[in-house]
Every structure is written in C-alpha cells, then in structure tokens.
A and B are shown apart, each in its own frame.
Chain A
Amino acid sequence: MRIPVIATSLVKFGDLWEKGIGDLMMESGEMALRNARLKPGMVDSLHIANAFSQEMCSAIAYEKLGIINSVSVNAADASGAVAIREASNSILSGQSNVAMALGVEKMADFKSNEILAMTSKLLDNEEFFAGATVQSQFAVMTKKYLNDFGLKAEDLWFVPSKNHQNGIGNEYAQYRFELKQEKISSSPLAADPIRMFECAPYCDGAAALIMCSPRAARKFKAKGYLLASSVASGSSGLSKRKSLTSIESTKNAAEQAYHAAGIGPKDIGLAEVHDIVPISEVLAIEDLGFAKKGAGLSYIKSNSGKINLSGGLKACGNAPGATGVRQAVDVLRRLKSSKLKYGLAQTLAGTGSISVVNIFGG
C-alpha cells in the first residue's frame, strides 16, 4: 500500500469557546481543500471522526463544506486514526479517487465529571459500574508496572516533562511551556499513583488530511504517503486481559501494520504515540517493538529526538476525534522536513479496547 497524502491541516488545539463543531469542520476542511487546491465536489468521500458531540456531522459537512458523501467514525480517542483507515479503504476499494479524513472535537463544552462519566462508559461494564475511570485503570496498570520493574511513580514524570519540552516548539500545541517535575509532584492525585498534571488534558480541536488514489496522484503533489493502517481490538476490561503491562491491541495493530508496510520497528524514524498518561507512552514504546518489556522508559530517555516531538497529547491537548489525525499530520510534516524515511502514529481508545497504528513514508 502506498497512498499519497495530498493535503494536511491543523487547527490549534485548546479551549475554543467561540467555535462549534460546524465551525471547526469548516475551518480544518477548507484549509485542507485549499492546501490541495481542491473543490469540495472533488472529494469522493469524507470520513469524519468525532467521539462525543452527538451531532449529525455528515449533515454539517454538507452544509458547511459542501461535501456530499460523508460518514462518521466513532472510536473514542482513536476515532481520528480509524477515520484515516476508513479513508484509505475507500481509496483502495476504488470507490474514491479522493478521500478526506477529518477529526473534530469540542470537549470544553463538557464539565469534567461529565467527561469522566462519558469516557468511563468506554471501559467495560464491570469497570464502569465499579466507578473506574480511564485514569484509574491506567493507574492500576501503572502500579503493576512500577512493582514489576522496580520503578517509582516519579520515574515516569520524565514523560510528560519531555513532551512539554517538545511542545514548546509546536505552534499548534495548546500548552507551550515547560513542565517541571516539582509542578507534577505538587498536583493532586487523580488516581493513585497518577497525578493530575501527568494526564493529558481534554480540549477542542480539529485536523484533516486528504489522500488520493495512485491513479489520481498525477494531478497532485504528494506531501507524504500512507503505507499501512491497522486497527486492532483488545479487551476493554483489565480483568479480561492476559497482561496488565502490555496492551494486546497495540501489539496486534503494530504487527499487522509493519507487515503491510514491509518494515520493522527499527525502520521507524519518528513516532507520535498515545500519551494520555505516562504509562500509555511507555507501554506503546514496548508494544510497538521499539524496546523490550520493562525497557520502555530507558528507550524514551535515550531517544528524545524521536517520540512525540509535537508534544504528544500532553502538550497538544487531547481532542479525541481530532487526535489521531493530528498525530498523522504531525508525522507527515516532520517526515517532509526531516527527510526521514518512515514515521508512525499510534492511537488508543479507552485503555486499549482499540489500538490503531498508521505508518507513513516521506
């Protein structure tokens, strides 16, 4: 598979009080269309990713963008990444010559306890009923990981600090300031041992990319290529998983994606991974095959120029529908400017009920 990506667009993430879903769709959609010099009528299919807004996005796409054929994708935080796969399917099947993936989210419209309730519904029934949250279940995984590998909670603070440092250079990141470890330690516990300032904040945002069939590519300038897109499922509930310190869905998605792209983890030059909490970045590094079990944190420390250069979910902010597309856009843009050959974006839903791995080529 080698699908040309002919346009990318980003709307800066944050608390975008004045913009609604429709405004964000219009802004990111039009930017992408302009980027590729396309008229709306030339988009054969639009794959809209939105996790929580409950609006009829396909109708809005028609009203605000003038695109006729759109479908919605909902896979929680992985929605955007899944939308990329859906767009690629549309191209590969021959149904579309031009397909757009657009992710949009308005989390600032909700109260924090509502967000916790909505995201808790993504856990399995048993966890949701017990009063668990995505944070608490990652905390259970964190505690096991720390125990198994002889680490302390503070050791993981390197991850959000590093991501904030990276975010300073990203004009699209919500937070562009240093996050010192003392600041993290002074923040209250969300779910022991995870502290509030270790958690990526939910926010508003939008991102889009447009891909085309190899046949139509002659008319456009490719900004990069989509080489593989794998979506894998795993158990949502921790009690049903084989391991608390490995996310099966990521391992499966990675294996399938590497196979489809004909490459291995060592070939990946840069990666955007799902750092909703520090442990999810550490586990991603291990499950993607970059490091052995237990060596994820050391790998992150010695490869600071490689992981979540955008600032990750932590510094950019996490707008669930948009995040997966934002990661892809970040990878593509950095591949273009760095001349690295291969890049990867990995996104989770909940605590790993779904994992998506998208591999890109420069």
Chain B
Amino acid sequence: MESSPLSWRLSKERIKPASSEIKGVIESFTVVYNAPKGYENHVPYTIALVRLANGERATSQIVDADRVEVGMKVEPCLRKVYVNGDKGLIEYGVKFRLIK
C-alpha cells in the first residue's frame, strides 16, 4: 500500500515473527497461479496455513521449497513481500521455509 503511517503500523507486527524462533507445521496450502495486481510476476507461489508452536496460526507464503505437503515443518524467515512501484515503500514480512 501507499500509506506510510499504515505501512509503518502494520510492519511492526509483520516483521516480529522473523526473530521469534517460533516454528510451525503446514496445515493446508495452495499454489496460486491467478494472482492479484502486483503479485502477477511472482507466480506460481505457495500460500499455506501454518500452525505455529505457540498455538497461533498464520497465513503466509512458503519459500525455497521444491515440494510442499501438509504436515511439513517450517520456520519463519524475513523476506520482501511487496514493492510499491519505483517510488514507493518496500514492504517486508515473514514467509516460511522448510526446516532441513
């Protein structure tokens, strides 16, 4: 989004899990081929519902995975999520990658 204050408020919550060391398990997922505006050249990407070790759940992308299956263990990592064009802010967030 374009709003600095909004991006700032949201980014604090979005980035916190990156240093949390809280791992999770994939509960369900999908591979997106039909993407909304701004995400088209990222396809195909995997969106998963992850159950975290602290009992909460998160919806996020799975990265660096050759193959994704329900039940796989994942850990958080900080990644770029969305770039607001040439002039706008770059938004970061947590995605998940498979634990070796």
Direct interface between A and B, CB < 8 A: yes
| Residues of chain A whose beta carbon lies under 8 Å from any beta carbon of chain B | 112-114, 116-117, 119-120, 125-127, 129-133, 135-137, 139-144, 147, 188-194, 196, 237-240, 244
Interchain Cβ contacts under 8 Å between A and B, 26 examples: A113-B36, A116-B34, A117-B36, A117-B38, A126-B59, A126-B60, A129-B10, A129-B82, A131-B45, A132-B47, A135-B32, A135-B34, A139-B30, A140-B30, A143-B29, A143-B30, A147-B70, A188-B33, A190-B34, A191-B33, A237-B59, A239-B56, A239-B57, A244-B27, A244-B28, A244-B49
A129 touching B28, Cβ below 8 Å: no
| Residues of chain B whose beta carbon lies under 8 Å from any beta carbon of chain A | 10, 14, 27-40, 42, 45, 47-49, 56-61, 70, 81-82, 91, 93
Shortest beta-carbon distance from B41 to chain A in Å: 11
Interface of chain A: mostly helix, strand, loop or mixed: helix
Shortest beta-carbon distance from A130 to chain B in Å: 5
B39 touching A131, Cβ below 8 Å: yes
Chain B contacts of A196 at CB under 8 A? Answer: 34
Which A-B residue pairs are the 9 nearest by beta carbons?
Answer: A139-B30, A116-B36, A239-B57, A117-B37, A117-B36, A131-B39, A192-B31, A190-B34, A144-B28
A194 CA to B39 CA in the complex, in Å?
A: 19
A14 CA to B30 CA in the complex, in Å?
A: 30
Specify which of A133, A237, A240 is in contact with B35 (CB 8 Å cutoff): A133
Specify which of A125, A135, A140 is in contact with B48 (CB 8 Å cutoff): A140
Chain A contacts of B91 at CB under 8 A? Answer: 129
Chain A contacts of B47 at CB under 8 A? Answer: 127, 130-132, 136-137, 140, 191
What is the chain B residue whose CB lies nearest that of A148? B28
A129 CA to B84 CA in the complex, in Å?
A: 12
Chain A contacts of B48 at CB under 8 A? Answer: 140
A239 touching B49, Cβ below 8 Å: yes
What is the chain B residue whose CB lies nearest that of A135? B34
